[in-house]
Structure 1
Amino acid sequence: MTETALSETAMLASLRDIRLPAEAPGGVVAELAATAGLAGLGAVLVVGLLRLLSNRRPVVQSARPIDRLAALNDKPEVERRVALLHLLRDHAPDRYAAIRGGLYRREGSVDLKALEAEVARLV
């Protein structure tokens, strides 16, 4: 450093900020590509987070099938039929596939007593 003081103009000239070029290399295309890339990355992160939060957890059924079958006795007929079909689907999928076609017929559904007997036999 020198011991002489800087003049006012020399001091102001040294305080001027750096001038960046108005156009960066690649121009508008590079800016658009960077923006699209960042938006895509953000979308992937949001979708991943939503998928993580919205996945259903498998229901852990602690009761044995026989206990679940015995618990159905006090339920209404419609709920009992649905629960029996779920038991049949879980434990005998081939038999469930055979009667699945008759579930939605207008003339009648699966007989409840026959369904109970079949589930008790298979489970």
Structure 2
Amino acid sequence: MAEVGINAETMLAGLQDIRLPANAPGGLLAEILVVVGFGLALALIAGELLTVVFPTRQQTPSMAARLATLAHLSDDDRALALLHLIRTEKPEAMPQFRPALYQRGAGPGIAVLEAVLLAEDAQHA
């Protein structure tokens, strides 16, 4: 470390704002752009931190809306998609369909599968 003590003028000069020299290229405009850039960077960092601290919840669509998205599928694909929905959303209803799943052409109808999925929505309405 320096053996010479810091005088008051040096200390006060060190506490002054960090600014561009008056004769720097760009002058006041450059200084304003730097401040705006730092402000935007801080806002971006603060926004990212807020999304980590307060995550947003995505609303799941209603079962009727989910079933409407399957309407464009063929009957076999639609029945398979409905069975997957039943397995994830209403696993307690799955055992009644298991015997028919392993017989050719004896699978449950689409109307039955949709009725099982919509039964809970009808009870809450």
TM-score of Structure 1 vs Structure 2, range by shorter chain: 0.3 to 0.5
TM-score when normalising by structure 1: 0.43
TM-score when normalising by structure 2: 0.43
Greater C-alpha radius of gyration: 1
